[in-house]
Amino acid sequence: MNSIKELKEQLGYEEIGLDDIFVFHCTQCGKCCIHREDILLSPKDLFHIAKKLKITPEVALAQYCETYLGRNSHIPVVRLKPQGSVKRCPLLKNQKCLVHDVKPAVCSMFPIGRYLALPSDGIFPENPEELSVGYVFNDPECGDRSETHTVREWFHKFNIPLKDDYFFAWTKTKATLSKHLRFLEGRLSEKTMVSIWNATLITLYLNYEVTEDFQTQFQKNSDMLLSLIEKLRTADAPMPKKI
């Protein structure tokens, strides 16, 4: 799996601290909404899109997204499906975002990205503050350079918490699932793994009522799925062999 350092080098991202200054001013040109194939959604993103549009997460997934299996993570990935030759975001209509006030985290933070420095042993501490959050700046080459910001100010402006319990929980869920599913791939048939991947997608992304609290539902879904996957991994009973 690529390290954070390797990914930053490949993508041309610049490491930046919370109180470091970056130069950027959004002029609403819309360039960040075209030629994009990398707008990945978390369950929370899909939930809020569905709630905003007054549809279910399942309908939102079918209308605006596509899924694939992560090359390195081996878990289902959901992204906004690019439209047309310019690869326009499907939520961009008449040069306006249909979900501007609940846009995906990657869009809210733009041009800043963040990551968790994962433990080398893969074991997450119970206290999220024991993990280090890193930030990167990706020069968007759009807008103008008339404003300066710090990451701290930028996140505050867009109501993005620095101590984000969901970000920690989601990262932990992904890392734990990735470890277990890669192990199971070596033991189970492709047909069985497809069923597990589908169950993972449904449980993490679709099993929600948009009228109820997201975080409570997410934690329940995550705990249930991880418990099941861990039981599959440690089961003593004979399991279907990979063909």
Q: What pLDDT, on the 0 to 100 scale, is given for residue 91?
A: 96
DSSP for 121-172 reads: TSPPPSSGGGSEEEEEE---S-SEEEEEEEHHHHHHHTT--SS-HHHHHHHH
- Residue 218 token pair: 């997410």
Statement: residue 238 has pLDDT above 70: no
Q: What is the mean pLDDT of the chain?
A: 88
- pLDDT per residue as tens digits for the range 5-46: 554 554 557 899 999 999 998 877 778 888 888 899 999 999
Nearest to 151 by CA among 131, 135, 165, 164: 135
Q: Report phi then psi at 109, rounded to 5.
A: -80, -20
Q: What is the DSSP letter of 124?
A: P
Q: Given the structure tokens 């329940």, which residue do they identify?
A: 220
**202: which residues sit within 8 A by CB, 6+ positions away?**
none
Q: What pLDDT, on the 0 to 100 scale, is given for residue 10?
A: 46
- pLDDT per residue as tens digits for the range 175-202: 999 999 999 999 999 999 999 999 999 9
Average pLDDT over residues 113-142: 80
| Strand duo 92-93 + 65-69: pairing | unpaired
Average pLDDT over residues 77-82: 97
Sort 147 into a burial class: Cβ within 10 Å, 0-12 / 13-18 / 19+.
Answer: exposed
SS3 content of the chain, % helix, strand, coil (to 5): 45, 20, 35
Q: What pLDDT, on the 0 to 100 scale, is given for residue 36?
A: 84
Domain-by-domain residue ranges, the chain?
A: 4-163, 167-234
Q: Considering just the CA atoms, what is the radius of gyration of the chain in Å?
A: 19
SS3 (DSSP) at 32: helix
